[in-house]
Structure 1
Amino acid sequence: MGKLNIFEITFSNPQAVYYGGQLIQGHVTVELNDEIKMRGIRLHFDGGARVHWTERHSTGSGKSRRTVTRHYSSSETYFNHTLVLFGKGPGQKGDDPVLKAGRYTYPFSFQLPTGIPSSYESFTGRVRYSVGGVIDRPWKFDHTTRRAFTIVDPLDLNLEPMATQGASANDDKTLCCLCCKSGPISCMFKLDRLGYVPGEVIPITGEINNGSRRKMTSSFADIRMTVQYHARTKTRTRCNIVSKIWHGAIEPGDSDIWNGDHLPVPPLPPSGLRGCRIIDIKYTAVLNVVPSGLAFDLVVPIDIILGSIPLQRVAQQYGLPPPLPGTNAIPMQPSAPSNMGLPPPSYAECAFGKVNIREESDNEHTRGNMDYAPVYSYYNWNQHEANTFMPVTEQETE
């Protein structure tokens, strides 16, 4: 058995969900089976965004032609703070203290800056927040531990002018059938509002007319999450279908009506990823028609807004009382008592699932759970499970 038995970080808020400007509090537990000489025990609070991807390019010609791998990246820092819990800070002189065998608890607190973006994790880019602990030992390997936490940007739909507005869109397409033009297929798509929060459903209203001589295999509605990653010299765009519902086939000459079908909104970060300059997020509701045979889908999109705080009139439809004068529609701080008799939202794991958050500075001895998924505000008014959405697939678009 080694000298170190326990080295872990515990947050006072068990959900580990915070908002910009809040105070993070908790404690570090250290349990030693034998004394350890050390420079000190430190905590490092880190928050920032990073974008990185590689592309293979061919250069030269003929026999001198070769393939090179180019890296595209950018990053930004929101905070970087070190707190000394015991002993000396980095670079401080003096004798190294010895911590005797036993169990120790060190409380900590850290004030988050305001205006920081929501947590976000993907293969190409991320916004990540964590607390790392180190037992700094002279001339020996350090003991390290790390714990991630989630930041949620309180994007209030009541402050977004477009959120309450409805929108409609339509398009048509003419297919070719045995070298002859067929009649058009047309699609009308309508939404009664544009602002939603995770846990709601989007009522899909639309009409599809198949004026062609070809069968339509199906129609479906989906939510698309379009993410732009900005490196220093290039931007990469990826589109994820995060929720989807289907209708069946449409025979030639027939129509199909979408009469308020429910398209669920899964746990996702708010639109825009406000506060982050290198990652942009946009959401679109789309009604699609799938022709049989060789033909592109007919696609009719409407941009929507995904927030963290729901529209007041929508919350009241689910039996929640109107807010008192001078208060928000929904209290957003997880640990704060409500002054309106309303509970804060629940929090659900991101639709993308867990990722491994091991950093380059970590090694196989770093303690802490390295499988992590951000969680987001989730208003389960429609009583569907947050973890029953379709698997998310990521596709690159030009």
Structure 2
Amino acid sequence: MKKIFSATISRLVRRGNLKLTFPDGTTMEVGDRTGKPVHVRLNSKRALRGLVFDPAYYLGHYYGTGDIDLVEGDMYDLLETVFTGNPDFKYYDSRWNRLLERVRYPLRWLREKNSIRRSRDNVQHHYDLTGALYDLFLDEDKQYSCAYFETPEQSLDDAQLAKKRHIASKLTMGRPGLSVLDIGSGWGGMALYLARNLGARVTGVTLSDEQFAVSRKRAKAVGLDDEVRFLLEDYRNAPDTYDRIVSVGMFEHVGRPNYLTFFRKAGSLLKRDGVMLLHTIGRTDAPTTNNPFIEKYIFPGGYIPALSEVMRAVEKSGLAITDIEILRVHYAETLRHWRQRFMARRDDAKALYDECFCRIWEFYLAASESAFRWQNLVVFQLQLAHDQQAVPLTRDYIEHGEGCLKAREGDGKARAGGPRKFPQEASI
């Protein structure tokens, strides 16, 4: 095993400064000695076997158990060394990993066939962790999805505000009083933003008990509980019809067997002249399987789609795509902020859970950032409608809408969140 692993890592890291200590105490160094030094210690033979057999799963797994330690550098430094050490060689494209992929691929439907009960269990696995954990690293509004960085130096809070503004502008909400469905409403930030700044009447649906309770409390605290209601409900059971539908960071939990169900249900909930905005993580390459570590420890039942998989379901749903935007690197920057914040308060996270939990989350945040920065992950923003004339002919309205919303956000009442009066016709 040691010989196989040594040969692989030597091919993988041609640039960089990586030192490895094996379970028998021997060491090896790879790379050209440039960049930040990283020293990895393998504490058990099973860790070595795991890295040879399936590194996509076992690197994070055995880091969590303590069978792998970082003596110098951190997990992000290690992943940067691995993913940038040799652009011409990718371990996940080796013959062995392609074989693993072929074995996993036929089982994908079983793992992703999310019934209403199973969807609820999957959501609660992640989102019903104590809210104190998410307070450690999220922005003030608790936006747990990709931010929109208008400038590289923008703060996380400002970039998350810009994300809400960007999405709201694509919803083309030209007058107050429009009804909006927020599918996967999280801790309520998007719903409250639309009500506060655009006079919308919003219904948010979530399967997380924790998010449901926090969202209702937030709406009441800012006097918007008459304009915004939250339901502990699956999207498949969402009531009524709506002028607008928004879904941010939820589609990744739907599962491929349910894509057509999702878009057909959205089509039935959206009025004939309505507009929908879907914000989801996506991949730039062909359809594949879930990352096995993420599947087990972080998001069971989830899947990150290729655009071709999404489009196939949209085409059969009766909805039409009216705009597509690809957000590149924005999520890498978002995750950088989250990772740095988490690591700065790691002791607080350990007090909430334990050392194993912290190591797993270190790996999750670092690996996710790496995937958006150096691999194949991006964010899709898809605008959909029944009528292709439901949105303006050019994209100028997005920038115009953002400008109007910036002015409204500057209003003290708008920031504080109290009820506001709107003109009969708004300017976006």
TM-score norm. by structure 2 comes to 0.25
TM-score (normalised: structure 1): 0.27
Could you say which structure has the higher helix fraction? 2
- Greater C-alpha radius of gyration: 1
Structure with bigger strand share is 1
